[in-house]
Amino acid sequence: MISQVIYTIMRITGLVFTLCYAYQFFYIAVAFFKKSKPHLPTVPHKIGILISARNEKNVIGNLIDSIKKQTYSLDLVTIFVIADNCTDDTAEIARSYGAVVYERNDPKKIGKGYALEFLYNNIVKDYGDTEFDAYLVLDADNVLDPHYLEEMNKTFSDGYQVLTSYRNSKNFGDNWISAGYGLWFLRESKYLNNPRMLLNTSCAVSGTGFMFDSAVIREVGGWKFFLLTEDIEFTIYNVVNGRKVGYARGAELYDEQPVTFAQSWRQRMRWTKGYIQVWGKFGPSIVKNIFSKKFTSCYDMFMTILPAMILSLFGVITFVVGMVVALCMQQFDQLLPILFSFLSLLGSSYSLLFVIGMITTISEWKKIHTSNFKKIFYTFTFPLFMLTYIPITFCAIFSKVEWKPITHGKSTTIDELIDTK
């Protein structure tokens, strides 16, 4: 019977998904029970902060202000802003806060990767390529905990040439969309990058709040990562070349999440398409290195960019094909069992995501800046947010996706966030 075949395929799909990602539940146990190693003696480093900003007049001042409130010596810090294709007064505001500002106007080369390339090239021209020990990449909507640079420097002093940080949200409680993002990033920090660090495998850069040794960018010959997800591209480049990405768990930043589904759809379409691009560029290298000493890191990165996408798409296609075949063969009695099989797969996925969200909400309770009711309520909506990746994945595969800016208007200061702790 068609329904039985579809049911079996759905069960197998769910089993394969579970087997692929079971190691991430081991990561949760590691995060709870394994202790981190003490830092090596800290060495002061000169840091260039790279901020890409496109029409960010509402938020750029708060970020720079939070940098100036760092416990790390500001004599070792220079703030660089690239005002990228701006039509507002972002550049003027950044300069008024003391940043070194470069302006770029190029309507053909659109995206953060091109902005960072332009910014770095200008820094080299004006300061040389050895003036700074490291560069820190931030988004204009970020604000930093006062100890952020101090904590990043501790992990950098441990010998990590690339490292990322703890990503929190300014507007977690706005609605189920911002909360979905926020909970995912908290989970990524606490239960992915943290256990990776504890197990001495490679972490992953996630969009913003990452630092790298200036030697790394000299090795590459400048910033050369231009795919739709330049962060994952940068991560995979380092992993396949044997460089481990570290994680500074004490370095906490806050960023602003989209609040409309239209914005979220566009952004996650770009991310999904970017994963496909990264796979096209690095797929053979990742697979090759899975069968080497880099197994753990490369397998983890492989799971990050591909299987969930393929399995989700396969489940949807199986459901659609089953329904079409049943209709064409006029076996109308099979339609409901096929639908139930698909809903069963979605139900299992919801339950799994709910458990992940619940664990994250409980452990990070004090770090989530919203009411207790919203913390609980958005734990239930988190799986729904994640399941919207299914249609997004389908559309991303068959659509042309271009980089588009996300509007940021949440003018929140670091003092306001600290006061709510």
Question: What is the per-residue pLDDT across 255-284, written as a single tens digit (0 to 9) for each?
Answer: 999 999 999 999 999 999 999 999 899 989
Question: What is the per-residue pLDDT across 330-365, written as a single tens digit (0 to 9) for each?
Answer: 887 788 888 888 888 888 889 999 999 999 999 999
Contact present, 78 and 119 (Cβ < 8 Å) = no
pTM, whole model, 2 decimals?
0.93
d(CA 179, CA 162): 28
User: pLDDT averaged over the chain?
Assistant: 91
Q: What is the mean pLDDT of residues 163-185?
A: 97
Using the predicted structure, report yes or no on whether residue 376 has a pLDDT greater than 70: yes
d(CA 96, CA 266): 33
- Tell me which CATH code domain 1-31+44-421 carries: 3.90.550.10
**pLDDT for residue 265:** 94
Q: What is the mean pLDDT of residues 389-409?
A: 83
Question: What is the per-residue pLDDT across 188-246, written as a single tens digit (0 to 9) for each?
Answer: 999 999 999 999 999 999 889 999 999 999 999 999 999 999 999 999 999 999 999 99
**pLDDT for residue 420:** 61
Secondary structure of 368-417 as H, E, C letters: CCCCHHHHHHHHHHHHHHHHCHHHHHHHHHHCCCCCCCCCCCCCCCHHHH
Question: What is the per-residue pLDDT across 288-335, written as a single tens digit (0 to 9) for each?
Answer: 888 887 888 888 888 888 767 777 777 778 878 888 888 888 887 788
Among the residue ranges 236-240, 312-316, 375-379, 390-394, the one predicted with the least confidence is 312-316
Task: Return the number of other C-beta atoms located less than 10 Å from residue 314's C-beta.
Answer: 16
Higher-confidence position of 369 and 348: 369
Higher-confidence position of 3 and 79: 79
Contact present, 382 and 353 (Cβ < 8 Å) = yes
Give residue 101's identity as a one-letter amino acid code.
V
